Amino acid sequence: MILLRRLLGDVLRRQRQRQGRTLREVSSSARVSLGYLSEVERGQKEASSELLSSICDALDVRMSELMREVSDELALAELAESAASDTVPAPMRPVLNPLSVTSVTGVPEERVTIQAPAEAVDVVAA
């Protein structure tokens, strides 16, 4: 079973470490106890939306960016989990066709494909 709080904690920890900041610095700036922030990063506590907002402000990261990264990790974890069980779930939403951007002169611009970074994902089984 994939735990959302674990993925969220992993992403928060990476954001903090990318900035070279300590738990103490971020907890002080976010006005949350160091122990509680540590538990959130380790996926042991569920963070409220208010707490996430404070942590994102302290990290100077938009919550939408944080949640997008969590969503990408969740998708990878789901794929890994389904590959491990040899079943492929049906897509939850339709696959959208790529958008074609047209320039001012009416000539279609080149299409760009963006891929998510291939990072290791912890999959937690219950």
Q: Where are the domains of the chain?
A: 4-86
Pair 123, 2: CB distance under 8 Å: yes
The pLDDT value recorded for residue 1 is 80
Q: What is the pLDDT of residues 74-119, one digit of tens each?
A: 999 999 888 888 655 566 665 555 554 444 555 455 555 555 555 5
d(CA 123, CA 76): 9
The CATH superfamily label for domain 4-86 reads lambda repressor-like DNA-binding domains (1.10.260.40)
**Angle at the Cα of 46 (from 16 to 26), degrees rounded to 5?**
25
